[in-house]
């Protein structure tokens, strides 16, 4: 019963993650075509990485509904390697998004010269290489593997504690500290901008010009702050409990980590697209236009294929209007 309940939760979560990130990715592609902003590729990569997290969870859902299921050791290692790689790509994408916003605030006049298509492509390729190395390191290094004593694929069943501790201490905690540093530095820059504008207004030299740079800085800070907060709340309990588990095997039940705390970490891949669709006006506008386009096509299809419905002139007029 508990396995079936966990399978249902994973299935619902995976469906929501894939759907939400697919919609945000489509909206970002439309926005990139219109604006040509290179920085949006980092956000698009985040949506792709989070969608991959959802696809990797689908495999774990099949395991939950296939009890009793005893897969080979190599199969489990490969499956958990894909899960780890996609999760690492999502976290690294968050770092690139934060770095991009930090660069836009620190050097606004040189941003478009620094963020070129070639540099964006190199960073994204490097991101996926690092994520693949992190996830598939146990596959290439047998000393990071261990014989599973559990009935299903799990982190603590296939990965050696040394590997888990290395990934957590070298990967997660430096990423968290980098997030905090970037946000604090953006906060300092924005406060300097606000102070400068207040001095100009006090001297009567502003001329009624709106503080556009400060408004943009505050929006970027708000987005990064929310992303950092959700990232910390989602992953920090899992990583702290996992470090304790690797150091002291009997101190913390691994089932609590994998059945509850890991689910909390997966929710971060669902929160990321929801946050961007809510906080970013351009993304929200593209999603509304996409929804309106789908609705228009559905109404056009219904209006053209059911001519006998409603009043006599309604089908003809509605089809012509929708086609216009």
In sequence order, the β-bridge partners of residue 229 are none
Cβ contact 47:84 at 8 Å: no
- Does residue 209 surpass a pLDDT of 70? no
Cα–Cα distances in angstroms (integers) from residue 40 to residues 37, 70, 146, 273, in the given order: 6, 43, 40, 13
Min mean pLDDT across 55-64, 193-202, 214-223 is at 214-223
**pTM value > 0.75:** yes
pLDDT for position 127 = 94
Query: pLDDT tens digit string along 84-132?
Result: 899 899 989 988 988 888 888 888 788 888 888 899 999 999 999 999 9
Percent of the residues in the chain that have a pLDDT greater than 90, as a whole number: 13
pLDDT for position 17 = 92
Residue of higher predicted confidence among 186 and 310: 186
Residue of higher predicted confidence among 39 and 211: 39
Which residues does 55 contact at the CB level (< 8 Å), separation at least 6? 14, 18, 86
User: Is the Cα dihedral 134, 136, 140, 141 positive or negative?
Assistant: positive
Confidence of residue 264 (pLDDT cuts 50, 70, 90): confident
Q: What is the mean pLDDT of residues 221-242?
A: 80
Q: What is the mean pLDDT of residues 10-30?
A: 90
Query: pLDDT tens digit string along 163-180?
Result: 888 887 777 888 888 888
In sequence order, the β-bridge partners of residue 145 are 159
Picking from 275, 235, 238, the residue whose alpha carbon sits closest to that of residue 256 is: 238
Average pLDDT, the chain: 78
- Does residue 40 surpass a pLDDT of 60? yes
Instruction: Round to whole Å and give the CA distance between 91 and 266.
Output: 11
């Amino acid at each position: 019963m508990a396995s079936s309940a966990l399978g249902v939760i994973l299935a619902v979560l995976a469906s929501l993650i894939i759907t939400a990130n697919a919609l945000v990715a489509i909206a970002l592609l439309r926005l990139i075509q219109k604006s040509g902003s290179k920085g949006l590729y980092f956000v698009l990569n985040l949506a792709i990485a989070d969608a991959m997290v959802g696809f990797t969870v689908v495999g774990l859902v099949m395991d939950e509904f296939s009890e009793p299921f005893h897969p080979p050791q190599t199969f489990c290692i490969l499956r958990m390697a894909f899960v780890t790689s996609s999760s690492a790509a999502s976290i690294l994408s968050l770092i690139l998004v934060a770095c991009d916003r930090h660069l836009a605030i620190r050097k606004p006049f040189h941003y478009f010269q620094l963020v070129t298509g070639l540099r964006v492509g190199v960073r994204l390729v490097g991101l996926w290489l690092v994520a693949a190395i992190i996830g598939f390191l146990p596959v290439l290094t047998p000393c990071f593997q261990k014989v599973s004593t559990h009935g299903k694929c799990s982190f603590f069943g296939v990965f050696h504690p040394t590997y888990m501790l290395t990934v957590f201490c070298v990967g997660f905690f430096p990423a968290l500290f980098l997030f905090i540093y970037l946000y604090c530095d953006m906060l300092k820059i924005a406060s300097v901008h606000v102070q400068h504008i207040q001095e100009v207004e006090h001297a009567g030299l502003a001329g009624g010009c709106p503080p556009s740079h400060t408004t943009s800085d505050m929006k970027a800070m708000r987005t990064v702050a929310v992303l950092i907060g959700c990232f910390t709340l989602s992953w920090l309990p899992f990583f702290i409990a996992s470090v304790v588990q690797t150091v002291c095997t009997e101190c913390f039940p691994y089932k609590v980590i994998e059945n509850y705390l890991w689910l909390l970490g997966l929710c971060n891949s669902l929160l990321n697209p929801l946050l961007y669709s809510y906080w970013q006006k351009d993304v929200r506008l593209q999603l509304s236009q996409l929804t309106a386009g789908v609705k228009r096509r559905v109404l056009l299809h219904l209006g053209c294929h059911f001519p006998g419905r409603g009043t006599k002139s309604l089908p003809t007029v509605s089809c012509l209007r929708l086609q216009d």
